Amino acid sequence: MFRFFKYFFGEYKEYIVLIFLLISSLSFISVNDHESTKNIRAFFFGTFALVTSFASDVLNIGDLKDQNQKLRDQNARLMLEVNRLREFGIANEELKKLLGVRDTSTHSLIYAQVISKSFSSSQGTVTINIGTEAGIKPGMPVITSEGLVGIVENCSEDFSIVQTLQNMNLRIAVLNQRSRAHGILRWNGEFLTITNLPKTADVKVGDRFIVSELSSLVMLPLPIGIVTEIVDPEKGIFNDLIIDPFVDFVKIQNLFVLNLQEREIKNNKELNFFNRFE
């Protein structure tokens, strides 16, 4: 018997090693959400990001002039926008007083820079240069001036991994700003899509989608993108939409993490994938 096994292993050792390692790889997939896996991952990407952040800084120096110019342009445009919104804000405050509604939203922005980006077209992630020390927690939304970039997935002390909208594991409830039709946004490896939207839903090419108030991941109506195509509108009972995101995921460099101050009781009651009060 022993000689048979010895012969068998000697003859087929390449295949035995291959099968053992492939089964090990597949079994790793099932422990992705374990706390210990997250800790090991935080250690590895934290250590690696520490080294790459220096290289990233050096690479970004060349872009500073261009970035400054863009930021000045953006600043001027935002100044005009702020003035316009201030007028709306004053009117809004007066109306709220009349209705007796209190404003409860409090959130601040934490500035971050992208250190590295994943090279997978289906599992888009970026590593940013702030972590738990700056108050970052998994589940916090990440934005640019254009709109929502993604959600913080994992944090070490000084660095965090952000799942971008171009990640097949991230799905977000979205809302058509014009018709108020709801849908679920996801990345299919090629496009941002909203699938299984009823044919009766009022959607047109060019409609703007924002994060829905029903989303338990992001509680603010952040811009997502516009509808560029309604796939096969004549077929089936559902519509699939292709969305062109406002954020250019190839060029993102400077980001803000939204430090949402939520109510603990609400967070615990909702079926929330990222429980921020754990």
Which residues bind to another protein, rule: CB under 8 A? 13-14, 17-18, 21-22, 24-29, 31-32, 37, 40-41, 44-45, 48, 51-52, 55-56, 59, 116-123, 125, 127, 153-154, 161, 163, 168-169, 188-190, 195, 250
Smallest distance, Å, CB 156 to another protein?
11
Q: Give 48 or 274: the residue with its C-beta nearer to another protein.
A: 48
Q: Which amino acid is at 228?
A: T
Residues in the chain: 278
- In order of 40, 41, 161, 212, 270, the CA distances from 44 in angstroms are 6, 5, 11, 34, 31
Rounded-to-10 torsion of CA 254, 70, 87, 106 = 10
Q: Give 5 or 119: the residue with its C-beta nearer to another protein.
A: 119
Q: Give 210 or 247: the residue with its C-beta nearer to another protein.
A: 247
Smallest distance, Å, CB 153 to another protein?
6
- The DSSP call for residue 145 is S
- H or E segment to which residue 62 belongs: none
Smallest distance, Å, CB 120 to another protein?
6
DSSP sequence for 211-252: E-TT-SS--S--EEEEEEEEE-TTSSSEEEEEEEESS-TTT-
Q: Which amino acid is at 39?
A: N
Smallest distance, Å, CB 56 to another protein?
6
Smallest distance, Å, CB 78 to another protein?
28
Q: Give 194 or 210: the residue with its C-beta nearer to another protein.
A: 194
Q: Give 21 or 205: the residue with its C-beta nearer to another protein.
A: 21
